[in-house]
């Protein structure tokens, strides 16, 4: 896909400019891919936010999703697809109008899912420096705080993230 090829190309250029530098092409490619995913995710959120609703609400959806995902983990997609899907979801979430009872219901469902399944282990959780227990507690606390503020965009973003930590998705490598 596009971002994967771009990150590989950049990594090869860096390595050819400094062959003795730290890290292999694969390590550089991985790190560059993570950054490209972040930047393209933000750009696609702004674009889809502009097309579908408003940019500020879409950015709120993206940032709330990212904040919870940092501690709860979740399903992996290839970099290009992940950026597009994330931007599209963040652009569409502000369009959903939900009543207060529905908002509290999906907020409570998100809370239960976080309590049962967070963290769904992946690389970034280890980078946070928390162990599994603290990642779970932080995920739960984030959802509880969101229930107090009662923001439908944040609640829906958290619900989407909660769905993505359910153990129903195949793991990388088919395990």
pLDDT at 110 over 70: yes
Write out pLDDT tens, residues 36-85. 999 999 999 999 999 997 999 999 999 999 999 999 998 888 999 999 99
Residue 100, exposed/middle/buried by CB under 10 A (0-12, 13-18, 19+)?
exposed
What does the domain layout of the chain look like in residue ranges? 2-174
Interatomic CA distance for residues 134 and 19, integer angstroms: 40
pLDDT at residue 174, as a whole number: 43
- Cβ neighbour number for residue 15 with a 10 Å cutoff: 18
Angle formed by the axes of helices 25-52 and 2-17, nearest 10°: 140
User: Would the pTM of this model clear 0.85, i.e. be above it?
Assistant: yes
């Amino acid at each position: 896909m596009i971002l994967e090829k771009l990150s590989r190309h950049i990594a090869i250029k860096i390595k050819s400019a400094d062959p003795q530098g730290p890290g292999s092409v694969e390590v550089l490619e991985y790190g560059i891919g993570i950054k490209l995913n972040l930047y393209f995710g933000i750009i696609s959120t702004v674009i889809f936010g502009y097309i579908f609703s408003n940019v500020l609400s879409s950015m709120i959806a993206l940032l709330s999703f990212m904040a919870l995902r940092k501690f709860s983990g979740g399903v992996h997609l290839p970099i290009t697809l992940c950026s597009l899907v994330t931007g599209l979801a963040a652009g569409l979430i502000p369009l959903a109008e939900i009543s207060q009872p529905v908002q509290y219901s999906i907020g409570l469902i998100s809370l239960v899912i976080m309590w049962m399944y967070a963290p769904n282990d992946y690389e970034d959780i280890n980078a946070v420096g928390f162990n599994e227990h603290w990642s779970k507690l932080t995920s739960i606390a984030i959802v509880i705080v969101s229930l107090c503020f009662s923001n439908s965009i944040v609640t829906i973003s958290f619900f989407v993230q909660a769905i993505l930590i359910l153990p129903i998705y195949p793991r990388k490598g088919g395990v």
